[in-house]
Amino acid sequence: MFRYPTPTLAAESGYAIAGDRFAILLGSGVTEGVIARLWNSAVADTAVLEDVLSVLVAGGIHDLPDFAIAEFPDDDAQPVRVAVRGAAIVETSDRTRVSGADARTWIETALAGAVGIRLALDAGATGGDLLPLGLGVTRADELSWGRPFPAGREPDAEVTPAAEGEEPPGTLAPVTVAVPTITPPVRPAPAAPAPTPRDEEIDVLQTISVDRSLFARLFEDDDELELPDFLREDDQRPDGGDIPDERTLFGSRRAATGAVYGLRLPGGRTVPLDRPVILGRGPRQAGHAGARIERVSSPHKEISGTHLEVVLDGTTLVVRDLDSTNGTIVRPPTGAAALLRGGAASRVPLGTELDLGDGVTAVFDVLDPSTAG
């Protein structure tokens, strides 16, 4: 059962979302579109904390609202995973508090044995008379679950960030609590199709679909290439197969003329993908033999020292999180953005934008060989 106090000024209060497996509290500046997407995540049977965070960070890690999230496990023996940012707090009925006040992004931890959890946007709030709330969304600055909290009771323990190895001061680090913690689940990479040999030109007549006028435009200025008659008459190859799509045609055409795939970084900088690339605030060559090391600026330490690996596989890019603190926002040309973290990997298409944080983005694109590097 969820509970919440009636806000004094509903129009100025935050949002409370009570889902099947999540309790979410957000500051008042969140748009209704984001609230709707968070609700969809909160009621999805297969959703995990990373899915909720993906919605919040879609606009950029550097522009996040205050929030508190609790993910309840299917098995009562498992701990409750929480994430907290800004003035928001999470506290348990056994007198443990998690605060996001000192986090540059957010604090994450796991609370074992919790039988009551309270989320609040004001660390000084004490929780008074609470109204019951079923599954849904309401305007509120507090949200409680499980064992009721006595009004005015303050927790004894407060969770604070702990130092983490080589990360400099001010960087978000794993937190230490008086209970065991768990590692977020690692999502396996999707099954990879057989890669296209890099020394072979793609056969433009073996892929998807495109109209005849596009094919004609591609080859109209080439004296050595003539538009086949069957492409002037119908939309299929003589053997019944489909004609390739625009992306495949352009990619094949550019590959045939010597263009290369690469990353476009801020400031007009380009990086060819002729070998694996390691991105981060200060990655080292050790442990990444043969890879290209690319250092990016991160004034607010949102980007980890060794953050992300990208590897070209045919005409797609395999991106792998290197256990970065905040992860990477992956924005494909179509579809929703997602947060890649926890060592997970993903295969992305041409045109995908990778947001590492601190305003640093890397776009997977086709480069002019004369400007790459």
Q: Which has the minimum average pLDDT: 88-102, 255-269, 281-295?
A: 255-269
Name the band, by pLDDT with cuts 50, 70 and 90, for residue 240: low
Name the band, by pLDDT with cuts 50, 70 and 90, for residue 225: very low
Name the band, by pLDDT with cuts 50, 70 and 90, for residue 4: confident
With 70 as the cut, is the pLDDT of residue 174 above it? Answer: no
What residues does 24 pair with on adjacent strands?
17, 69
Q: Other CB atoms closer than 10 Å to residue 189's CB: what's the count?
A: 13
- pLDDT (0 to 100) of residue 259: 58
CA–CA gap between residue 218 and residue 227 (Å, rounded):
9
What is the value of pTM for the model shown? Answer: 0.56
With 60 as the cut, is the pLDDT of residue 172 above it? Answer: no
Q: Which has the minimum average pLDDT: 52-56, 101-105, 367-371?
A: 367-371
How far from the centroid of its chain's Cα atoms is residue 147's Cα?
Answer: 33
With 70 as the cut, is the pLDDT of residue 251 above it? Answer: no
Q: Residue 221: phi, psi to the nearest 5?
A: -100, 10
Strand-pair category, 338-340 with 328-331: antiparallel
Q: Which residues contact 270 (CB under 8 A, 6 or more apart)?
A: 262, 263, 264, 367, 371, 372, 373
- pLDDT (0 to 100) of residue 128: 56
Q: Is the distance from CB of 254 to CB of 280 less than 8 angstroms?
A: no
Helices (H) then strands (E): counts for the chain: 5, 25
With 60 as the cut, is the pLDDT of residue 222 above it? Answer: no
Tokens of 56: 């919040």
With 50 as the cut, is the pLDDT of residue 352 above it? Answer: yes
With 80 as the cut, is the pLDDT of residue 14 above it? Answer: yes
Each residue of 39-84: pLDDT tens digit?
Answer: 988 888 888 888 898 888 887 777 788 999 999 988 778 899 999 9
CA–CA gap between residue 153 and residue 144 (Å, rounded):
14
| 274 or 181: which leads in pLDDT | 274
Q: Is the distance from CB of 61 to CB of 329 less than 8 angstroms?
A: yes
Q: What is the pLDDT averaged over residues 141-169?
A: 56
Average pLDDT in the chain: 74
